[in-house]
Structure 1
């Protein structure tokens, strides 16, 4: 399901610029920022790099590219 969301022209311009560098659509770039921001807000003690790597690992698990690590 998709929903139309209004954002400022400034944020849209920044998303367009960054999306070209990151090889994403503008919409995907805004979704990425929202996902990172939500995770950071829910986990204020975690650094950005940890959040980003965790989200990447979760996506790799979904696609079967990695398997769960078992301690011990």
Structure 2
């Protein structure tokens, strides 16, 4: 998968759907993961944050409001 936002058809994370649909979220330094947004999800490592990206299998969360959060997204192939 092309993780270069200039050539991989990635869109800025702030335009990502927040309706629970599965999408690819990515940061070039961390990789790309299939995740969905959950308004109520929390993570003890980010005690101030409510609302997180959640992996499709529930194995991890990703807080958008950190320096290491996802910065890009694109739809999952159907």
Task: Bin the TM-score by the shorter chain.
Answer: under 0.3
TM-score normalized by structure 1?
0.22
Q: Which has the higher helix share?
A: 1
TM-score normalized by structure 2?
0.21
